[in-house]
Amino acid sequence: MAGEKPLTVVTCTAPVNIAVIKYWGKRDEELILPINSSLSVTLHQDQLKTTTTAAISRDFKEDRLWLNGEAADVGHPRLQSCLREMRRLARKRRGGSAGAVVPLSLAYKVHVASVNNFPTAAGLASSAAGYACLVHTLARLYGVEGELSEVARQGSGSACRSMLGGFVQWLMGERPDGKDSIAQQVAPETHWPELRVLILVVSAEKKPVGSTAGMQTSVDTSPLLKHRAEAVVPERMAQMIQFIQQRDFEGFGQLTMKDSNQFHATCLDTFPPIFYLNDVSWRIIALAHRFNAHHGKTKVAYTFDAGPNAVVFTLADTVDEFVEVVKCSFPPGSNGDQFLKGLPARRASLSEELLSAVVLEPVPGAIRYILLTKPGPGPQSLDDPSLHLLGADGLPRPSA
Ligand code: DP6
């Protein structure tokens, strides 16, 4: 068609989120409907993000996907669910006013390239940011608006919470079609400016059991998980929302730790049992409790997902001291100057009293590095064409 560009390209970024009330267990595996609601904090994209470019052209022969520069399987059922849903919504929109960047034929094939600004090998959850980014980018490409967390959810449950910034709840919903199983913002990222997040990346040798397989075995075998979903989480959701609204770190921190511990208890209650925490994780838990006991209040709160890395919430005034405590407890190897990544911290001198009460048996090298970040906004659209991951030929650019 005269005047129509051969290639239409959109690039967006999306964040990682960390749950403080955990999602664990599905009632519908196809639609990814959970057995309980959950609540998370969206992390800042300056430190952790996925960037995705989607391009469409009448010249493309097939849908194609590249992950971190490598060609990947576009036939993955969850990816297909998201693509199908987005095309269905786009078709539905077609009846209305023009919304897409340019008029596009929905029969055209799409090329998608996605990269993370953090190493996948670090064991940090990337599927949430990945699917949130895919759905947001396709929405921009096709001009689809409205409730999209429901689509992201079908890529990975936790991805629906990455569609919004700040503090986000995923309502489990009741309907069999999942239309009410959506994410909602509880408070924006500006709500609690002092809140900080430290990711303690543990030196782990083996890859743990994936969440998808793990949680299904838990649903099938753990009576504790059933009790948790029915009798514990509903009350905790209400409490957590209140603690966040009141910026009550004591309440927020304690409930965060309790919920992480209960999630890992359900893993142990699964048969055969699943272990995500390792010896270093347990040492971090003990360290946090000694640190809080020394101060006589909750100053740091840990949470762990399906792996040994700790995510520690704290307030800005505690960061310097706690980073120093972690350094003394897990003395870095040769990378001492690169031990802290992300936001900066100042050197703190620790009192003898604190050292003797909190730093007990240092384990050199057990933590690879700390990433310091804070709550952040939801997915963003990038306008600068130089940031596209796909070139004019629709293939990954060499730098991407
Ligand atoms: C422990 O969202 O990765 O991180 O829906 O099967 O893709 P699927 O699982 P996923 O599970 C996340 C589990 C968790 C807790 C949480 O993020 O709420």
Which of these, 212, 132, 118, lies nearest to 168 by C-alpha position? 132
pLDDT digits (tens, 9 = 90+) for 111-132: 999 999 887 655 676 799 999 9
Q: Which residue has the higher pLDDT, 102 or 388?
A: 388
Query: Residues 55, 110: contact at Cβ < 8 Å?
Result: yes
Does position 218 have pLDDT exceeding 80, yes or no?
yes
Give residue 121's pLDDT. Answer: 55
Give residue 99's pLDDT. Answer: 52
Q: What is the mean pLDDT of residues 193-204?
A: 93
Q: Which residue has the higher pLDDT, 77 or 124?
A: 77
Q: What is the mean pLDDT of residues 334-357?
A: 92
Three-class SS state of 65: strand
Q: What is the mean pLDDT of residues 80-89?
A: 95
Please give all residues whose beta carbon lies within 6 A of any atom in ligand 1, as ranges: 19, 22-24, 32, 38, 125, 127, 156-158, 211-212, 305-306
Closest atom, ligand 1, to C-alpha of 38: 18
Give residue 336's pLDDT. Answer: 72
| Best mutation site among 18, 22, 23 for ligand 1 pocket (most ligand atoms within 8 Å of CB) | 23
d(CA 199, CA 341): 10
d(CA 56, CA 220): 42
pLDDT digits (tens, 9 = 90+) for 304-342: 999 999 999 999 999 999 999 999 999 998 777 789 999
From ligand 1's centre to the CA of 182, what distance in Å? 15
| Best mutation site among 82, 158, 264 for ligand 1 pocket (most ligand atoms within 8 Å of CB) | 158
Closest atom, ligand 1, to C-alpha of 263: 1
Does position 3 have pLDDT exceeding 50, yes or no?
no
pTM for this predicted structure = 0.95
